[in-house]
Chains A and B, each alone.
Chain A
Amino acid sequence: DAGVIQSPRHEVTEMGQEVTLRCKPISGHNSLFWYRQTMMRGLELLIYFNNNVPIDDSGMPEDRFSAKMPNASFSTLKIQPSEPRDSAVYFCASRSVDGTGYNEQFFGPGTRLTVL
């Protein structure tokens, strides 16, 4: 398996532009998580989905952030408009739900976002 795939790996944009980050979870996994990592705040959970349904978006910082999961093999995180303080590494992770909660999450390589 190719693991969790994220694109792009690097994104540089200007303040005010729309940014879309993409994630393909591991096939068969039915939970998907979006995280943000910065030096100041560490690793933050933004939102997570179970069976394509958003379960908890309380970590989404502002209305400028939105996430979708139209099917089991694709999710997007969109920032519109982007601001310099959104600069961070964004990770996607997936796991298979087996009814126990024991299974670990598998992380993608991340997207490094720089907003100028």
Chain B
Amino acid sequence: AQSVAQPEDQVNVAEGNPLTVKCTYSVSGNPYLFWYVQYPNRGLQFLLKYITGDNLVKGSYGFEAEFNKSQTSFHLKKPSALVSDSALYFCAVRDHGSGNTGKLIFGQGTTLQVKP
């Protein structure tokens, strides 16, 4: 079965420090991986995706993610956290069983708290 796991419910970092939000996946076939962010009382916003090519993917707001096939991971990173990065982050993988409809399997989400 295809799945996504975000092992941490919450990540706390100090402003200015690097941050990492972890994601591991299990899929049949090539993984198409996505990160979304949800600010309070808002919908999910797309941050970045990995389809193929370079293992380091750059996205919005200075975020990047590293695809690691051997570890089946797609961790989200940022070199220097901002208080405004505090939000709920979702990792997702495309469900290959759904053809090209783009159905995603989401992780349970990780709350990022950046303290001043």
**Is B42 touching A109 in the complex (CB atoms < 8 A)?**
yes
- The reply to whether B43 and A91 contact each other, CB–CB distance below 8 Å, is yes
Count of B residues near A, CB < 8 Å? 22
Say whether A100 contacts B106, CB under 8 Å: no
A104 sits at the interface (CB 8 A): yes
A104/B90 contact (C-beta < 8 A), A55-B98, A91-B43, A97-B101 known = no
Q: Are B109 and A105 in contact (CB under 8 A)?
A: no
Contact call A97/B46, Cβ cutoff below 8 A: no
- Asked if A42 contacts B108 (CB within 8 A), the reply is yes
Whether B101 contacts A105 by the Cβ 8 Å rule is no
Q: Can you list, as one digit per residue, whether each of B36-68 has a CB less than 8 Å from chain A (1) or not (0)?
A: 100000111110010100000000000000000
What distance in Å separates the Cβ of B92 from its nearest Cβ neighbour in chain A? 9
- The reply to whether A56 and B109 contact each other, CB–CB distance below 8 Å, is no
A19 interfacial contact with B, CB 8 Å: no
**Whose C-beta in chain A lies nearest to the C-beta of B44?**
A107
A103–B94 Cα gap in the complex (Å)? Answer: 10
CB < 8 Å: which of A4, A43, A45, A108 contacts B103? A45
Contacts of A50 in B (CB 8 A): 101
B104, CB-defined interface residue at 8 Å: yes
Contacts of A101 in B (CB 8 A): 32, 94, 99-102
Could you give 20 example pairs across A and B, Cβ below 8 Å? A31-B101, A31-B102, A43-B44, A43-B90, A43-B106, A50-B101, A55-B101, A55-B103, A91-B43, A93-B44, A95-B102, A98-B100, A99-B100, A101-B32, A102-B49, A104-B34, A104-B46, A105-B104, A108-B43, A109-B42
Binding site for A on B (CB under 8 A): 32, 34, 36, 42-46, 49, 51, 90, 94, 98-104, 106, 108-109
